[in-house]
Structure 1
Amino acid sequence: MGHTVALNFEDGVTRFIECRTGETVADASYRVGINIPLDCRDGACGTCKCRVESGTYDPGEYIEDALSEEEAAEGLALACQMRPQTDLVISVAASSEVCKTRGQSFEARLKSVERLSATTIAFSLEGAGAVTFLPGQYVNVQVPGTDQRRSYSFSSPPGAETLSFLVRDIPPGLMSSFLRERAEPGMPMSFVGPAGSFYLRDIRRPLLFLAGGTGLAPFLSMLGKIAETGSAHPIHLVYGVTNDEDLVGVDRLEDCAARIPGFTFATCVAAEGSAHPRKGYVMAHTEPERLNGGEVDVYLCGPPAMVDAVRVWLGQQGVSPANFYYEKFSPSGAVTAIGESHRPAA
């Protein structure tokens, strides 16, 4: 029985390969035309060194000059030697272009457009076939009638027949204008992906999710996955928006809270004139104990100003989380500034 391996490249592109029983990751990659950098194939040079984000594997045989004990303990492995024992997620220290691969293109049909509030639209796609992605990742969707693409994180979990997304409704925005004025069920739409290094890793400690606006989307995908697999650790989400009308998806969070033991959430609104009981930014409504003395993985998705503010706030707490993953996005869904993540040094 083989295993699925997700290869995440430095430029954000993700490709999925099937690794046969007893086959190394490098051999499986080359078999399908993905050229992971390597020289020796014998575990001697270290050229194919990569980071294993999740899953278990047989590391194979190699010399310490290629991979030290300290590196192996930190989750580094050699693609030419490692053999998967479960499905794996691997970060490759090279771009997809260098590895002679690219994001996959998919053709789909628009299934539905739903007005969630005065400022937020949800749309869903169907008919794209088997689209594999990691919960939290995004795709680049072409705006029908243009040559422009916009980046949107999946709000649906992996394996769902219908792919769903959240869009901030900005009057001059290309995608939001299309959805508002011209979209009809059955219209063809295309996208490229998946992409992004902001995705759910193995859950090894408590999780703190911080979402801003339509940055809720990747967390809905993650929670959908967790609802299927379960978690041995508590998960808390703080979801902040600017105005009352921006607050959407609360019903889905309530459903997740009912399905996932140990999952809790809080919402807040920044506007001073809000009628919401919790006013202010997410930092003001994140209790210090949620940082668990640093033994916590923090995931953050929101506009650049929010990401920067949270980073400053974390520094002020005097506690460094075990891992801090973040993604910045433009309200218009523009590709720039999408897919950033950060993992602090061990």
Structure 2
Amino acid sequence: MTYQVALNFEDGVTRVITCNTGETVLDASYRAQLNLPMDCSDGVCGTCKGACHQGQFDLGEDYLDEALSDEEVEQGMVLTCQMVPESDCVVEIPAAFSLCNKSKNSAINGTVDEVNLLSPTAIELKITADADIGFLPGQYVNIQVPGTDEQRAYSFSSRPGSRQLSFLIRNVPGGLMSSWLVEQAKSGDQVSLTGPMGVFYQRAVERPVLMLAGGTGLAPFLAMLEALQEKGCEHPTHLIYGVTHDEDLVGVEALEAWAQQLEHFSFKTVVADESSQHPLKGFVTQHMQDAPINDGDVDVYLCGPPPMVDAVLKHFNAQGITPHSFYYEKFTPNVQAPHDAGASNQQAEHVA
């Protein structure tokens, strides 16, 4: 038996695929030459998350709660790598059709220009790519760890359209990529990059924007600010950047520069450590008083560790606020494939 599955992409395009008995939506999509967002395909990362409110299906139990929580299941969220239709279905895909209707990403070589230890917990990696990588601000790329078959995913922090790439990477002792960067990497080393990937990217700015960054989750927002400068923006854009300790605050000088260059951009930094002398202590949810919430007519972008993502979601629910759009991405330390500690465990999500 076969089932018809309509895939509704966020740019208004709909494609109907045929799903065989026992076949996942992700596999059926690939058979139809549609590359839906995916990283692990094992129910671990959450990259392939979508929503299904029409039709019957089975999700099984072979996925992690970090990839798809019980609350998300109740809301109709699905992992296309686990979803097996049991009737005709309609699935919402939080990505543009143009990003999915293409052949598999090919590897691009790059040359290491600089490796800078910005703090005990953050590394800046600068690479010159041998070819253009047409990424959207907020997307990520897989970088192969030299001397291994392992890849790690990192969000671009550099300007889209340039071969001069930069990444903000969490430095975790024992992390495969972190160890290579700190102990071995040098200017001139060759690396292989595959991408771009991910559905956490900046959409057209049509209303106020609230950006929430946790730790090295600042990276995609630096790329977004680069894009805002190039395209211009007439709507208020506010960034709240939270870290655990004072030493974790990196990139503040860049943010100060953006605040001078972009008329409608503002930001604040928050440190969770109670012993900190930083003027704003606590969590990002405690410092949203002057954020451009605009009675819910706001686009929210959030990139940080799972506890931060969960706390922000609960905060909005408690306040009775439903943002016009909510795009978020969780990242977790993971010393096993596919992601390195401090890499983005790309669980991008669009909640409309």
TM-score, normalised relative to structure 2: 0.70
1:259 pairs, out of 251, 254, 261, with 261
Quote the residue 2:317 is aligned against.
Answer: 315
1:195/1:339 contact within 8 Å kept: no
Query: 2:277 is matched with which residue: 267, 275, 278?
Result: 275
Counterpart in the other structure of 1:342: 349
In 1, the alpha carbon distance for the partners of 2:185 and 2:220 equals 24
Structure 1 position 216, deviation (Å) = 0.1
User: Retained in 2: the 8 A contact 1:168–1:332?
Assistant: no
| Alpha-carbon shift at residue 288 of structure 1 (Å) | 6.0
What's the offset of the Cα at 1:112? 0.5
Give 4+ residue runs of structure 1 displaced > 3 Å after superposition. 34-37, 331-337
Which residue matches 1:234? 236
Question: Which of 156, 159, 168 pairs up with 1:157?
Answer: 159
Q: Distance in 2 between matches of 1:306 and 1:36?
A: 32
- Distance (whole Å) between structure 1 residues aligned to residue 153 and residue 95 of structure 2: 23
User: Which residue identity is paired with 2:217?
Assistant: G
> Would you say the 8 A contact 1:244–1:276 is kept in 2?
yes
Deviations 1:28-81 (A, max 9, x none): xxxxxx9459xxxxxxxxxxxxxxxxxxxxxxxxxxxxxxxxxxxxxxxxxxxx
Mapped partners of 2:154, 2:240: distance in 1: 21
* Preserved contact between residue 170 and residue 332 of structure 1 (Cα < 8 Å): no
In 2, the alpha carbon distance for the partners of 1:190 and 1:259 equals: 34
Distance 2:103 2:244 in 1: 40
Matches of 2:291 and 2:239 in 1, distance apart? 13
Q: 1:92 — aligned with what?
A: 97
Closer/same/farther in 2, CA of residues 289 and 330 from structure 1, 3 Å limit? closer
User: Helix, strand or coil for the counterpart of 1:290?
Assistant: coil
Q: Quote the Cα distance in structure 2 between the aligned partners of 1:128 and 1:115.
A: 24
Mind listing any 5+ residue stretches in structure 2 that lack a counterpart? 1-6, 8-12, 16-31, 36-93
1:339 Cα deviation (Å)? 2.7
- Quote the RMSD (CA, aligned, Å): 2.7
1:143 aligns with 2:145: yes
One-letter amino acid of the structure 2 residue matched with residue 233 of structure 1: H
Q: Which residue of 1 aligns with 2:50?
A: none
Deviations 1:201-257 (A, max 9, x none): 000000000000000000000001101111010100000001111100001101111
Deviation for aligned residue 1:101: 2.4
Is the Cα–Cα contact under 8 Å of residues 124 and 164 in structure 1 kept in the other structure?
yes
Match of 1:101 in 2: 103
1:122 pairs with 105, 108, 124, which one? Answer: 124
Q: 1:292 is matched with which residue?
A: 294
CA contact (8 A) 2:132 2:162 kept: no
One-letter identity of the residue aligned with 2:317: G
Q: Distance in 1 between matches of 2:256 and 2:338?
A: 31
Task: Please name the residue that 1:71 is paired with.
Answer: none
**For 1:144 and 1:209, how far apart are their aligned partners in 2?**
33
| Cα shift at 1:25 | 12
Q: What code does the residue aligned with 2:176 have?
A: L
Give the 3-state SS of the residue equivalent to 1:186 in structure 2: coil
Q: For the residues of structure 1 that align with 2:33 and 2:218, how far apart are their CA atoms? A: 35
Higher relative contact order at CA 8 Å, sep ≥6: structure 1 or structure 2?
2
SS at match of 1:343: strand
Question: Match of 1:116, SS?
Answer: strand
Contact kept in structure 1, 2:151 and 2:338, CA below 8 Å: yes
| Equivalent runs, 1:50-199 vs 2, <5 Å | 91-92=96-97, 101-199=103-201
Q: Secondary structure at the match of 1:310?
A: helix
- TM-score, length basis structure 1: 0.71
* 3-state secondary structure, aligned to 1:225: helix
1:128 to partner: Cα distance: 2.3
SS at match of 1:326: strand
Residue 113 of structure 1 aligns to which amino acid in structure 2?
Answer: V
- Partners of 2:117 and 2:291 lie apart in 1 by 37
In the other structure, the counterpart of 2:203 is 201
The Cα of 1:90 is off from its aligned counterpart by 6.2
Partner amino acid for 2:105?
G
Aligned AA (2:115): V
Task: Give the gaps of 5 or more residues in structure 1.
Answer: 1-9, 11-23, 27-33, 38-88
Distance 2:102 2:168 in 1: 32
Q: Is the 8 A contact 2:238 2:291 kept in 1?
A: no
Structure 2: how far apart are the matches of 1:257 and 1:211?
Answer: 16
By how many angstroms is 1:275 displaced?
A: 1.6
What fraction of aligned residue pairs are identical, expressed as a percent? 48
